[in-house]
Amino acid sequence: MPDLHVLPGVWSPVKGYTSLVDRLTRLGYQPVSPDPSAPAGNLLIVPYDWRLSNRYNGRRLKTLVEPALERWRARGGKDRAAKVSFVCHSMGGLVARWYIAKEGGVEVTRKLITLGTPYRGAAKAADQLVNGVRRDLGPLAVDLTLFARSLPSLYQLLPAYACIENGARTMDALGFLGDASTLPELETARVADALKFYAELEAAEEPLPIADLRHPITGIKQPTCTTLRATTGTLEVLETYADVYTAGDGTVPAVSGPKGVALDSNVLKRIADKHGALQCNKAVLDEIVGIVTAKPVIPRAGERVDPTVNAPELLKHGDPLSVAVTLPAGTRVAVRVTVTPEKGQPKIRTPKVTNGSAATIFNDLPPGAYTIDVTGLYPGAPVNPVSSNTLIWPTDTTAQSGSQTV
């Protein structure tokens, strides 16, 4: 879909994906050619029949992604370990999720970037299926109700989150679509199968490291169908969630994010735009570029070292104060030993560390109480400080000579 596409009432107008493809191409990604004799590419554009089941399209995705990946890996070198980063708009995110979780795709997936994907469905789909899809376009009247009700994919967009208002307007009082006794025009078997789709998907994702792969980008601040209220023969759609205005992208409500992710989570990237324009939004494109070009590098942080310090707690005046420091095996850091009297100036040593051990001696310390601090050589050095206390007890001679006593 390189340009604007509109299917009145069935889904949001989509501006097309030319801007997204151009941006990825400018990054240096090479389109995959259908010609097997052409050089291998690493930008695979996957059109799919959005009318069909997401299960089917997820299985089909496997047959397209994995051969292209194998061709790219066959180049050898650093490409031998290549994985796939998915960039998916709207329902495409559901297709990719099914492939990753249910068709073994997690083994080859590096990242899953979703733009406006209804992770748990959308109330708008229920509105279309129940109330019909009719649009008066001047001289042309369009009724796509029967067409819409024939689409497995539209049923699979039914909301799987708590969305049925049952009188009390609180979140705890909201019910699930599958628990509703009857909803007009909805086929019970198709509703059950659609909700089973989400249940199967979430159950398959639960033991997998999906949270580490996922980068959801959502549209915000647009009036969006969020909650349903069943009335006689029709379904009323509300833009609030238990009287809270949560909004969304105009099609997918904010509450249809990944299961268990709070609306204020730092996992979500929020862009104020409509559903059909997210893939063209400059801020979204910048976000995508940042995600796909980021490297799995963890900068090495300074390791904290815990020294073991041996120093006597009590000495007689005239005895040397010995301080021994032992560091964990394999560490290479310098230490400073500071002996501070209650009164007077501290004495500082920087003993040489050999094979993880350092020792120093302080002579001629007058009687009194001392603090021994073992630290790194400079502020912020990766040595956790250890402090000890030593008491130097006076002898009779030092007491008679008027030296400091305790």
95-122 pLDDT per residue, tens: 999 999 999 999 999 999 999 999 999 9
**Can you give the residue ranges of every domain in the chain?**
18-293, 308-400
What's the rounded Cα separation, in Å, for the pair 292 and 148? 35
Distance CA 194, CA 359 (A): 72
**What pLDDT sits at residue 11?**
64
- Across 297-312, average pLDDT: 81
Instruction: Give start and end residues of each alpha helix (H) in 134-208.
Output: 145-149, 152-155, 188-205
Q: Which amino acid is at 364?
A: D
Query: pLDDT band at residue 302, thresholds of 50, 70 and 90?
Result: low
Highest mean pLDDT pick, 100-104, 192-196, 235-239 = 100-104
pLDDT for residue 187? 83
pLDDT at 298: 73
Report the pLDDT value the prediction gives residue 382, as an integer from 0 to 100: 87
Percent of the chain exceeding pLDDT 70 equals 90
Residue 399 has pLDDT above 60, yes or no: no
DSSP, residue by residue, 28-69: T--BPPS-TTSPP-SB------TTS-HHHHHHHHHHHHHHHH
- The amino acid at residue 238 is L
Average pLDDT over residues 42-46: 96
Instruction: Reply yes or no on whether the pLDDT at 169 is more than 80.
Output: no
Cα dihedral 113→116→120→124 (10° resolution) = -160
What is the rounded distance in angstroms from the CA atom of residue 298 to the CA atom of residue 277?
A: 34
**Banded pLDDT at 400 (limits 50, 70, 90):** very low
Res. 404: pLDDT tops 60? no
Closest C-alpha to 89, from 46, 33, 55: 46
pLDDT band at 403 (very low <50, low <70, confident <90, very high): very low
Tell me which residue of 360, 321, 365 sits closest to 343, measured CA to CA: 365
At 230, the pLDDT band (50, 70, 90 cuts) reads confident
Number of other residues whose CB lies within 10 A of the CB of residue 402: 7
Give yes or no for residue 167 having a pLDDT over 80: no
Q: Averaged over 198-204, what is the pLDDT?
A: 96
Q: What is the pTM of this model?
A: 0.75
pLDDT at residue 300 is higher than 80? no
Q: Under a CB-based contact definition with an 8 Å cutoff, are residues 119 and 159 in contact? A: no
Rounded to an integer, the average pLDDT of 37-46 is 94
Which has the higher per-residue pLDDT, 34 or 83? Answer: 83
Q: What is the mean pLDDT of the chain?
A: 89
8 A C-beta contact, residue 121 and residue 160: yes
CATH tag, 18-293: 3.40.50
The domain over range 308-400 is classified in CATH as 2.60.40.10: yes
User: 255-283: per-residue pLDDT in tens?
Assistant: 999 999 999 999 999 999 999 999 999 99
